[in-house]
Every structure is written in C-alpha cells, then in structure tokens.
Chain A
Amino acid sequence: MATSALAALSATTAAAAGKHILLSRPAASLSFASRRLAAGASLRGFLGAPIRAVASSASAPPKTIAVGDRLPDATLSYFDTSSPDGELKTVTVRDLTAGKKVVLFAVPGAFTPTCTQKHLPGFVAKAGELRAKGVDAVACVSVNDAFVMRAWKESLGVGDEVLLLSDGNRELARAMGVELDLSDKPVGLGVRSRRYALLAEDGVVKVLNLEEGGAFTNSSAEDMLKAL
C-alpha cells in the first residue's frame, strides 16, 4: 500500500532537524536548524474574512516592513537538491541573515510570467555581480509550497546562485505586512506576497524596493545593484 505523501513528509522533516548543508559555491556555508513552525498560519483570513496581516494572536497587524526595520523571524523551507537525498529542510530568516549581507526578493508566484521570465532570471544572471559587491546570499521567496519551488527551480535550471525558498504558509509575508490578496481573481493565486527586493545587513533592512502588488518596476536585480 502506498504511503501517503504526508506521512513521508513528516518523516523527512523530522530527519532534517538540525542538519547542516554546505552549498557548493564559494560563499560561507549556511547551517540551518529545523524548527517547529510558530503558530502564525491560520485558516481564518484565508477566505471569507478581510485579510489583515495578523498572526493567530489578537495583536495588532504588523505594519509594512520599512528601511531600518529588523526583518521579522519566520521559517522558510526548501528541498535540498544539492544533497544526495534531496530532503526537505527549513531555514529561519534569522539564520539566513544574521551577520551577513543578504538580498531577499519575493515573487507573487512560481511559474507566473513576470516572475519566471524576468524577475528570477535577472537575479540569477546578476548573482555573481551581487556577490562581488559583498552580498553573501541571494534568496527568492514565494507563497508556494516547497515542491512547487523545487519544480520551478528545475524547470529554469537554477543552481545555487539563488536560493528558492517556500513561504507557503505565508508566515514571512504576513509578518512583513506584504500580503497580496488575489483571491477574487479566477487564476487561483489566493493570497500571496507583494513583489519586492530588499537588502538586509545583519537582519536589518537597508534597501527596500517594494512594489504595489505584482508590478515589476524597481524590484529587479539591476536596481539592487545600483543601490549597492
């Protein structure tokens, strides 16, 4: 009898706890600790209620991230295609950004035209130049699950120049106040993240190019290079 994908997932994530990975590029190795997702994702607000960027507690909605803010912590996930077993791993925003210069950019959706044809490829092409300017890591985040992010990465032939990370439970997008509600549109995107590109130094936002919705005006790799 085939095991359910979900049962397999639980085993994978348990095994991933505390695992380190080394990316095969010259930058610093990224060590990650898997941790339980904080209770930030909730069923309510997904449909049928006005979206406020709230966590499941009754606190005020997070305001939109701004230059000078410390990035909120959140857990992102990815399938580690550089390791032989390709297992699911998690990384927190803190682990990703502490003590480093990191470019983080968000797309409304994997496999959507602008994201696939322009935004991500732009960062892949410019990753080397960004690193030459002192950027330690370039990461793309989207409200898609890690399976879809992996498939997207493979379809575009992206290697380790840009990390593709899943914010599928919308934890980071919500905490940053950048949710984008597209659930009245028939294409079925639900609630996603606004497009942005930011530079964080030791977790503090130094440069922020945040788009209205999914527009693609100042959030490109070229614009980030100019700002560095």
Chain B
Amino acid sequence: MATTTTTAAASLTTLSPAAGKRFGLSYPSLSFSSHRLATTTLRTGASSRTARRRAATASPVVATIAVGDKLPDATLSYFDPADGELKTVTVAELTAGKKAILFAVPGAFTPTCSQKHLPGFVEKAGELKAKGVATVACVSVNDAFVMKAWKESLGLGDDVLLLSDGNLELTRALGVEMDLSDKPVGLGVRSRRYALLAEDGVVKVLNLEEGGAFTTSSAEEMLKVLG
C-alpha cells in the first residue's frame, strides 16, 4: 500500500502562509478568563439556496447545504503532530482549487464513529487519493484536545485529518446541527453525520444522514460516486 510522502498536516502549511496559524496558548496551565461571547458571524457562500430566517431563538437559521452550493467558510482547529501546536485551517484553505472530502461524525469516541465511519475513511484514503482527492478530513463538534486523543487512541497517521468544529461554526453554517441535548449521554448539540465531495469549494456530492445514522455517508459510498 502506497504511503504518503508528506503528511497531510504538513501539506496544510503549503496551502498558504495563513494556513496552519499558530496560537500562543501557554501550557501546562490552562488559564482562561471568562468573557462574554462575541457574536459569531455566519458566512455562507453566495448560494441562491441560502435562506435566512430569524427563529424564536434569535439565532439565524440557514438552509441546509446542498449539491451545487459553495461551502461556507469556517475555521477548524487541530493539534499539529509535528510540533504539538494548536493550528487552525479554514474551509477555504482546505478546499480551494482541489477535490476534498469532508465527513462529519456526531462525536469522537462514540461507537459508530470510532468503529465504522472514521476507520472506513482511513482504510480507503489511499484509494480516494488515487482518484484525485487531495484532502480527506473528518470534522466533529469536539474540541481539538479530544480530537487529538481520539486520533491517538485509534493509532491514526495523517491520511485523514481530524479537525475540531468545537464552536459549532461550520456545522451551523452548513445547517446540519443536531440537537441531542435532551439525551442523558451529554452530547449537547452536534453535527449530523455526512460525507461530501467538494471541488474548488463547491459541493458536488453530498451524503447527509438523518441524525447520526450510518447509511450513505461511508467511504465506500464516496468511492462509488468518484467512479
């Protein structure tokens, strides 16, 4: 099986100088000061399907992402295994000018995600890349510490990037939130499961599940549509 000559994480930094920005967080003391939430700006692509309406919650609700839409921009984060630093990458940096697969799981360390969805993409990453996919990235509404621990627990390399959408920025912008906060397991609000193929940031294939079901969003399904 062919191995990648550069890690996917290293390839991120070649995208643009802005990619893989470092944040000077001082460890080991995790000192944060609590402060009011700044209003999150939701930016979606100029898609004719995007509709904004004010719900009773006063949070803007966007239409669900669809084939043909430009992916909204959002900032995701990860710990770079090369230097252990927290880095960020935008959806634009991940997807501009190439074929990228983005798939979302409801939660790191949850059974289906850990046992089937992510491992499936890890296994098929080589085949996907042979079909011209430059980036395969997994996104979850978990913080970057948890994503790193999950990656390590599964012994993964960098064929599939594990990116944190812990502030729900991308999930909200895609309109794929899933509110599980009435369930005792404590998942709160997460992302619906999906797998999508984007070309130069435009969605070409979208396999979006109802909730956390695992039917069409697998790596095998994505391989089939790539032909």
A→B interface (CB under 8 Å): 1-2, 4-10, 13, 34, 37, 39, 41-44, 46-51, 75-77, 88, 90, 108-115, 117-118, 143-148, 150-152, 155, 166-170, 179-190, 194, 212-216
Contacts and interface: CB of A to CB of B under 8 A. Distances in A.
A76 B110 CA distance: 18
26 contacts: A2-B116, A4-B212, A4-B214, A5-B212, A6-B213, A41-B182, A44-B59, A47-B172, A48-B59, A108-B32, A109-B143, A113-B28, A145-B107, A145-B185, A148-B109, A148-B142, A151-B150, A168-B188, A169-B186, A169-B188, A183-B37, A184-B38, A187-B164, A187-B166, A212-B34, A214-B30
A181 B35 contact: yes
B140 to A, nearest CB: 9
Contacts of A44: 57-59
A148 B107 contact: yes
Interface residues of B, number: 70
Nearest to B178: A6
Interface of B: 23, 25, 27-40, 42, 57-60, 75-77, 86, 88, 106-113, 116, 141-146, 148-150, 153, 164-169, 172, 177, 179-189, 209, 211-215
Contact of B168 (A46, A117, A182, A185): A46
DSSP class of A's interface residues: helix, strand, loop or mixed?
A: loop
Contact of A43 (B36, B40, B57): B57
Contacts of A39: 182
Given A37-B183, A143-B186, A169-B188, 17 more contacts: A6-B183, A43-B181, A44-B58, A49-B57, A111-B149, A148-B108, A152-B149, A169-B186, A181-B37, A183-B40, A183-B167, A185-B167, A188-B76, A190-B141, A190-B188, A215-B32, A216-B30
